Amino acid sequence: MATDIKKCIDNMDIKSFQDDLIGWFVSEQRELPWRKDQDPYKVWVSEIMLQQTRVDTVIPYFNRFLENFPTIEALAYADEEKVLKAWEGLGYYSRVRNLQSAVKEVNEKYSGRVPDSPKEISALKGVGPYTAGAILSIAYGKPEPAVDGNVMRVLSRILLIWEDIARPASRKIFETAVRELISHENPSYFNQALMELGALICTPTSPSCLLCPVREHCEAFHEGVQNELPVKTKKKKQKNVQLAAGIFSDGEGRILIRKRPGTGLLANLWEFPTVELSLDFQRQRDQLAEHFEENYSLAPKIGDSIGEIDHVFSHLVWNIQVFSGQITGEISETPQLKLVTEKEIKEFAFPVPYQKMLKQYLEYKKADQP
């Protein structure tokens, strides 16, 4: 640990800091469904969902997911299609694939009990240092650090840490600091309180210092530099990808859907036929028709564009031109290629941009009817 951070901790009244923080959490914590008990499985599911996703968004997903898969055994034996469907709309689908894979291992190797040792839990697929620390401290009461963006922001201000939190190496500094500060009597509440403080009070911009229960312990507040911390370098600019997608129906009104590859972005989710456009954007419809012919040996009838959708991922942006069309001929269905009715399509898991496309298509179709 850097000398100035260690000096800062040495000068703190750690017991008083713990008491102020935990006392505030006891009285001010939000009522969240995963806080109703300390079930390790529920803590695990909630922490995976909360990665990259806001609490308000997660709550209905968490409740629905636990209704469908109430136990480790239920998720271990669940059909992947149903798991992806329950996750539909949350994004970052590798999270739930890794979760199910790890849950299967827990079910087989540990008889359905989430391991309570740092070494064993960290070996599970998709369980990084933060998730491991959260489960161990919240569910098992072990004094392990659970350092996420909220915690790094809070501690960078309290301890005046000027390290760039965007650098992976910085995490170790914060983990070491938490080990020095964490309450051994109540590590569960201590870690949750740090997270809650970052979410409600010590926010990225305009922190509510006058409402903060630990401002007396905060070096940044005393020096008036709370708005300058944490130090965080900006990410690289996202890549823009131009796509054309078609919602094609056959003579019976069934819609053509296909399954994405088993690896890579949005793996194993369903989509409508889509092609990445070359630089010749004027030929969007032609490029989509050529893609359709190459893949299905049929020349489709493609109508006018019914809309445009932009979808932002962490590393790229999709700009999608959406078309409707008709299939002229027989399509050979496979496990990866299906013709489904508007009712049947609800059973398949689609990424958010394709959910938006379907909504556009159904509205367009309804408006087009006399």
Q: State whether CATH 3.30.930.10 applies to domain 239-368.
A: no
Three-state DSSP string of the chain: CCHHHHHHHHCCCHHHHHHHHHHHHHHHCCCCHHHCCCCHHHHHHHHHHHCCCCHHHHHHHHHHHHHHCCCHHHHHCCCHHHHHHHHCCCCCCHHHHHHHHHHHHHHHHCCCCCCCCHHHHHCCCCCCHHHHHHHHHHHCCCCCCCCCHHHHHHHHHHCCCCCECCCCCHHHHHHHHHHHHCCCCCHHHHHHHHHHHHHHCCCCCCCCHHHCCCHHHCHHHHHCCHHHCCECCCCCCCEEEEEEEEEEECCCCCEEEEECCCCCCCCCCEECCEEECCCCHHHHHHHHHHHHHHHHCCCCEEEEEEEEEEEECCCEEEEEEEEEEECCCCCCCECCEEEECCCHHHHCCCCHHHHHHHHHHHHHHHHHCC
| Mean pLDDT, residues 211-236 | 94
Beta bridge partners of 243: 276, 320
Which of 102-106, 270-274, 299-303 has the least mean pLDDT?
299-303
Which of 132-146, 270-284, 319-333, 349-363 has the least mean pLDDT?
270-284
Say what the pLDDT of residue 189 is. Answer: 98
Closest alpha carbon to 157 in 210, 235, 214: 214
CA pair distance 269, 256, nearest whole angstrom:
14
pLDDT digits (tens, 9 = 90+) for 299-333: 899 988 999 999 998 889 999 999 999 998 889 99
Instruction: Tell which wins on pLDDT, 228 or 281.
Output: 228
CA pair distance 333, 256, nearest whole angstrom:
9
| Mean pLDDT, residues 198-220 | 96
Say what the pLDDT of residue 7 is. Answer: 85
CA pair distance 136, 141, nearest whole angstrom:
6
pLDDT of residue 146 exceeding 90, the answer is: yes
Contacts of 344 (CB under 8 A, 6+ apart): none
What CATH superfamily is the domain 3-228?
A: Hypothetical protein; domain 2 (1.10.340.30)
Say what the pLDDT of residue 280 is. Answer: 61
pLDDT of residue 188 exceeding 90, the answer is: yes
CA pair distance 249, 251, nearest whole angstrom:
7
CA pair distance 190, 42, nearest whole angstrom:
19
Residues belonging to the chain: 370
| Mean pLDDT, residues 268-286 | 85
| Mean pLDDT, residues 280-288 | 78
Query: What interhelical angle do 187-200 and 14-28 show, nearest 10?
Result: 70
Beta bridge partners of 302: 325
Say what the pLDDT of residue 8 is. Answer: 87
> Is there a catalytic annotation at residue 47?
yes
Say what the pLDDT of residue 6 is. Answer: 84
Within its chain, how far is the Cα of 76 from the centroid? 20
Instruction: Tell which wins on pLDDT, 278 or 64.
Output: 64
Q: Domains of the chain: which residue ranges? A: 3-228, 239-368
CA pair distance 43, 76, nearest whole angstrom:
17
Tokens of 228: 């300058």
pLDDT of residue 55 exceeding 80, the answer is: yes
Query: Average pLDDT, whole number, for the chain?
Result: 94
Instruction: Tell which wins on pLDDT, 11 or 44.
Output: 44
Say what the pLDDT of residue 42 is. Answer: 98
Which one from 47, 88, 163, 196 is the annotated catalytic residue?
Answer: 47
pLDDT of residue 235 exceeding 80, the answer is: no
pLDDT of residue 3 exceeding 80, the answer is: no
pLDDT of residue 370 exceeding 70, the answer is: no
pLDDT of residue 1 exceeding 90, the answer is: no
| Mean pLDDT, residues 25-43 | 96
Closest alpha carbon to 32 in 20, 18, 49, 16: 49
**Share of residues in the chain with pLDDT > 90 (%):** 84
pLDDT digits (tens, 9 = 90+) for 12-21: 999 999 999 9
Say what the pLDDT of residue 282 is. Answer: 58
Shared fold status for 3-228 and 239-368: no
pLDDT of residue 215 exceeding 80, the answer is: yes
